[in-house]
Chains A and B, each alone.
Chain A
């Protein structure tokens, strides 16, 4: 149930067609995992907190560096050398004191994912490595948790809403190892933030169904054109090694 403070805080949001007290209450009762809190994950976490998500779990290993600051908007130049998740938690908590935040100074891996994902109702994947994205994908399929995969490169971005058992998983879409991907990629903070907002909107649609989420599609964002397009993905891959080998719990 929403209290008086919630009703005032989210009154403009609850004016959206199809989005009322029921939908706001769903967000309040939701726990979202966001991995990591950089150029993409930072604005994802911020917009989830602004939208009134009840609890947010953050996972990102390492300390803030100066060259993070062109895009990691939850950070501050005063905090260089401090753990990024601590900085992110502080910023998010200053923005919305009613949100519960759990932070892990670690990146997700097969060794820790079960602990980190525990209690999540939705996951936002914003990691810069496919290895982490596939760990999250596997965990979400195994635990039947919706996943919003957000990614970017240079002036482009992609958002894939994944609902286990219904839509294509990340392995259905990328069955071969993307060996060409390099850890360092060109990024302008405004582009990663733009992609993040599309990801959050899709996540809120999945959670509340206030509008139909774009399940079975990939949303592509091209800030060059500029354009936002929806690509209809091929049917679920019946030979997908993830969908076929992992049994939902």
Chain B
């Protein structure tokens, strides 16, 4: 199935693009999707997503179809869903 991803803020700047579509087999969780996309990303990109313990930082907003996801392991993704990753921004 196809999953649409959008990278916001510094994530977009870090990988030079803001949209990506990946194809993966069902069933898959949001956490699985995150691990898959991190496989081919830079160290700086990974630092924006993961904390020192290599788990997703709690200040990264992960949005699935316009709803914030907290339980990454148990939230499953569906065909054609949209996942957005929003690192905190504070520009004023």
Q: Is A50 an interface residue (CB 8 A)?
A: no
A38–B63 CB distance below 8 A: no
Q: Is A36 an interface residue (CB 8 A)?
A: yes
Q: How far is the CB of B81 from chain A (nearest CB, A)?
A: 14
Q: Is B21 an interface residue (CB 8 A)?
A: no
B58–A178 CB distance below 8 A: no
Chain A, range 106-134, C-beta contacts under 8 Å to B: 125-130, 133
Give the number of chain A interface residues (Cβ < 8 Å): 41
A178–B13 CB distance below 8 A: no
Q: Which of B22-30, B31-39, B82-90 contacts A (4 or more CB under 8 A)?
A: B82-90
B88–A178 CB distance below 8 A: yes
A40–B92 CB distance below 8 A: yes
- CA A152 – CA B49 in complex, angstroms? 19
Q: How far is the CB of A91 from chain B (nearest CB, A)?
A: 18
Give the number of chain B interface residues (Cβ < 8 Å): 27
A153–B63 CB distance below 8 A: no
Q: Given the complex, which residues of B lie within 8 Å of A39, measured CB to CB?
A: 91-92
B9–A150 CB distance below 8 A: no
- CA A64 – CA B12 in complex, angstroms? 31
Q: Given the complex, which residues of B lie within 8 Å of A79, measured CB to CB?
A: none
- CA A229 – CA B61 in complex, angstroms? 15
Q: Given the complex, which residues of B lie within 8 Å of A186, measured CB to CB?
A: 13
Interface code B31-63, partner A: CB below 8 Å = 1, 0 otherwise?
000000000000000011001000001110101
Q: Is A187 an interface residue (CB 8 A)?
A: yes
Best-buried of B58, B59, B70 by chain A (most CB within 10 Å): B59
Q: Given the complex, which residues of B lie within 8 Å of A180, measured CB to CB?
A: 10, 47-48, 87
B91–A232 CB distance below 8 A: no
Interface code A150-179, partner B: CB below 8 Å = 1, 0 otherwise?
111110101000000000000001111110
Give me 9 other A-B pairs in contact (C-beta within 8 A), A231-B84, A232-B66 excluded.
A36-B92, A40-B92, A152-B89, A176-B58, A180-B87, A186-B13, A192-B91, A220-B8, A231-B66
Give 30 CB contacts A-B under 8 Å. A36-B92, A38-B92, A39-B91, A41-B92, A128-B92, A129-B90, A130-B90, A133-B90, A151-B89, A151-B90, A152-B91, A152-B92, A153-B9, A153-B89, A156-B89, A173-B59, A176-B51, A176-B58, A178-B59, A180-B47, A180-B48, A180-B87, A186-B13, A192-B91, A220-B8, A231-B67, A231-B68, A232-B66, A234-B67, A234-B68
The 6 closest A-B CB pairs, nearest first, are: A178-B88, A153-B89, A126-B92, A174-B59, A152-B91, A176-B59
